[in-house]
Structure 1
């Protein structure tokens, strides 16, 4: 693409180019692909090219936050020929008369009153309900004036007849031409590393995330207790470790139907030994006004565990979800000089299922173990005496409605992601 002002486009690999050619030939295309295949790169390149050619492009994504990185990348690509732009409204207008306008699928009226030559619906599988009605009532009509084309893309997220992405891929009567592209279809990735993925993740996770298959999660335990034991037994506290830290998940509400406040304690080993050992846990219902008095007790427990495990860096702090009563705790910690930090917003935004998928490889590879103390511990919570950590973590089922009170599960997935990193690189 050349003119007095040049725009440089990303080079496509073979499978991307094959799918890209179909965008002009088919009125409706749906892409079902594995992680790191390069679907968003392909879609961003197409949006840049089409707007440069004077076409009007509507980009629809699940949230404003997910749209923003794409807005920025497209803007950088077409910068030499930009007529006007707005980061707030997420609109890019070009000298050619073309444009890229971004919408969130949280808005049931997304796209109404507009008209487009091309529509892109990215990460469609993340919209679990309502996308079909938004498509039929708001998005599809934007294509009538110009006989426009639509592209929908995503990575499968279970078998769900109410998910429009799943419907578009499996119900041919809806008129979408499907392209299936597993992760291995990207020749730019290291083939040896891709081949190892099958051993690094639970079978169903690998099948969904990398083969891009629709997987039935109903009834399947997501985190295996055995994978967090050694020869069927929990581990002893490490004689030495690098760090001790805690993760806190809080709630202001009282009553049996609401969340409790939970904390898990970890020992991190970066060089030798088990990478992450769960040392202790606690779950309780506590009034918001009393949380400030509870936080120093959590820090004191971290100090105690740091001494017991001979932590080289000692107690490195407490990570807290930065919302609701968590904000109160972080403010309290700052005033008292306690080491407390907000959990990364992008990790919070993943939700329970997203975080579980993200850390599944770490657990499957045996990088996380229960200490004997944490494994054998029982306590009464909401009238039930049991090991609530094991009950919540090993009782979690993907693809089913998750019970509201899964605060220890949140602490668990946060702790693994914060300390070990996850598949997207925390």
Structure 2
């Protein structure tokens, strides 16, 4: 009995690009967020493996590959003959397969042969992808005269980024398709049209128009957007809840790094959605962090009273890495309300997190209280407002110093409290 597999329906622009995969040997797709890139690629991988073709899927990391592995497996399950979640391999009837590789491995794909190759989120691989493509991935297509497709959302103007090269240097042989967010007819056109007013211009150009943007010299977060008529705001007399975010030192063996904490008030109906009430950045030995954390919780209790928080102190969010793991475990034993920051958000990196919360800041949803704005501390011999300096001094497209813990807690706080079901 013939097994049937139901494929997801594509919109018109996805169909156009899908047809190009069979007409050209090398196709690169430059698309905006919510266009449906991954849906298209997953559908292609499923269809080809169902037909008995061998497919190699190459993504930046194992974690980014895993959701796609699960979705492809679920769709193709009627004809699967073997599978391995650990190795991320799906084998189907007629000799087809989908094998997943991480681009963190410069030898990804060596010793294999494929009919089709998919390189997903190529723009996220800053350096080394061209060498991996030329030396490891492209040779897998020789046996069966296979085809390749690469896709991603632009990430700055970077001549060393292979995705950028493939889109802009026609001599490399890639046929480019440009698909801004508005190309997806399944999205609400009114909501898409409003995006231009909800994000900083450069963010809108990159993330939704899918254009290559030169970020050099541009301050990412504007102080003007963090104030109200040029002034910080007063503490609210009523708010829904208060919470804190902690970014601990000792995540990467950097014992001289700081531990930052930010205290915030969340308003879901009236008032400013997110107000930064207070912050601190300290150098503290890892063994003493668990003794320090109760003071953070007590500060939240005091702020809950001061701001009339209806739901009170809802807890402290901590990176689930390095000393953060110990903090979370110790807090559970002490009965403190401490929670891990979602792993996907941590893995986005500083630039990714900043991009994800840029719209909230641009729209004025995040404000500095007078206390947080006027606060000055001495840290590593420098007396200043370290939170304001790190947030407003952040630049995309330049090498970011590792000691940007205050920036991290700022972005985490905005993402955790203002994010929705579509992400951050």
- Residue in 1 that maps onto 2:150: 152
Specify every segment of 5 or more residues in structure 2 that has no aligned partner in the other structure, as ranges: none
- Aligned counterpart, 2:33: 35
- C-alpha change, 1:195 and 1:170, in structure 2 (3 Å) is same
CA distance in 2, matches of 1:256, 1:337: 29
The question of whether the paired residues in 1 share the 8 Å contact of 2:251 and 2:321 is answered with: no
CA RMSD in angstroms, aligned pairs only = 1.5
Name whichever of 167-176 and 322-331 sits farther off.
322-331
**Counterpart in the other structure of 1:83:** 81
Contact 1:359 1:422 in 2 (8 A): no
CA distance in 1, matches of 2:401, 2:208: 28
2:256 and 2:283 in contact (8 A); partners too? no
Deviation track 1:356-381 (CA, whole Å, cap 9, x = no partner) reads: 01111111111000000000000000
TM-score where L is the length of structure 2: 0.98
Aligned to 1:234: 232
- Matched length: 424
Q: For residue 417 of structure 1, what is the aligned residue in structure 2?
A: 415
Distance 1:302 1:335 in 2: 19
**Aligned pair partner of 1:268 in 266, 269, 283:** 266
Question: Do residues 69 (structure 1) and 50 (structure 2) align?
Answer: no
Q: How big is the shift at 1:254? A: 12
Partner of 1:23: 21
Aligned to 1:206: 204
**1:181 counterpart residue number:** 179
* Equivalent-residue separation in structure 1 for 2:78 and 2:250 (angstroms): 51
Partner of 1:299: 297
TM-score normalised over the length of structure 1: 0.97
CA–CA distance in 2 between the matches of 1:334 and 1:259? 25
Q: Distance in 2 between matches of 1:4 and 1:254?
A: 53
Among candidates 269, 278, 281, match of residue 280 of structure 1: 278
Q: Is the 8 Å Cα contact of residues 128 and 162 (structure 1) preserved in structure 2?
A: yes
Question: In structure 1, how many angstroms separate the alpha carbons of the residues matched to 2:200 and 2:266?
Answer: 23
Change (3 A) 1:139 1:199: same
- Secondary structure of the 2:216 match is coil
Q: Is the 8 A contact 1:254 1:287 kept in 2?
A: no
| 8 Å contact from structure 2 (residues 205, 213) kept in 1 | yes
Contact in 2 for aligned 1:253/1:259 (Cα 8 Å):
no
Deviation at 1:351, TM superposition (A): 0.7
Secondary structure of 1:85's aligned partner: strand
| Cα contact 1:19–1:179 (8 A) shared by 2 | yes
Work out whether 1:115 is the aligned partner of 2:109: no
Aligned residue number for residue 9 of structure 1: 7
2:287 paired residue among 267, 289, 303: 289
Asked whether the 8 Å contact 1:358–1:424 carries over to 2, the reply is no
1:314-347 per-position Cα deviation (integer Å, ceiling 9, x unaligned): 1111111111111121122112111111111111
Partner of 2:103: 105
**What is the alpha-carbon distance in structure 2 between the residues aligned to residue 70 and residue 318 of structure 1?**
32
Q: 1:374 to 1:364 in 2, by over 3 A?
A: same
Aligned 8 A contact 2:59 2:65 in 1: yes
Q: Which has the higher mean CA deviation after the structures are superposed, 77-86 or 111-120?
A: 77-86
SS at structure 2 position matched to 1:42: helix
User: Does the aligned pair in 2 maintain the 1:362–1:420 contact within 8 Å?
Assistant: yes
Find the aligned partners of 1:258 and 1:23 in 2 and give their Cα distance. Answer: 51
Deviations 1:38-89 (A, max 9, x none): 1111111111111111111000000111111111111111111111111111
Unmatched runs of 5 consecutive residues or more in structure 1: none
CA contact (8 A) 1:358 1:422 kept: no
What secondary structure does 1:96 align onto?
helix
Distance in structure 1 (CA, Å) of the matches to 2:69 and 2:318:
30
Give 1:265-414 correspondences, 5 Å limit. 265-414=263-412
Q: Give the deviation of 1:425 after TM superposition.
A: 2.3
Question: For the structure 1 residues 334 and 109, does the alpha-carbon distance in structure 2 shift closer, same or farther, using more than 3 Å as the test?
Answer: same
- Deviation per CA, 1:285-341, whole angstroms, max 9, x where unpaired? 011121121111111111111111111111111111111111121122112111111
What's the CA shift for 1:257? 8.5
Q: State the match for 1:252 in structure 2.
A: 250
CA contact (8 A) 1:253 1:287 kept: no
| In structure 2, C-alpha distance between the alignment counterparts of 1:230 and 1:139, rounded to whole Å | 52
> Does the 8 Å CA contact 2:249/2:255 hold for their aligned counterparts?
no
Q: C-alpha distance in 2, partners of 1:19/1:179?
A: 7
User: Residues of 1 paired with 2:408 and 2:416: CA distance?
Assistant: 12
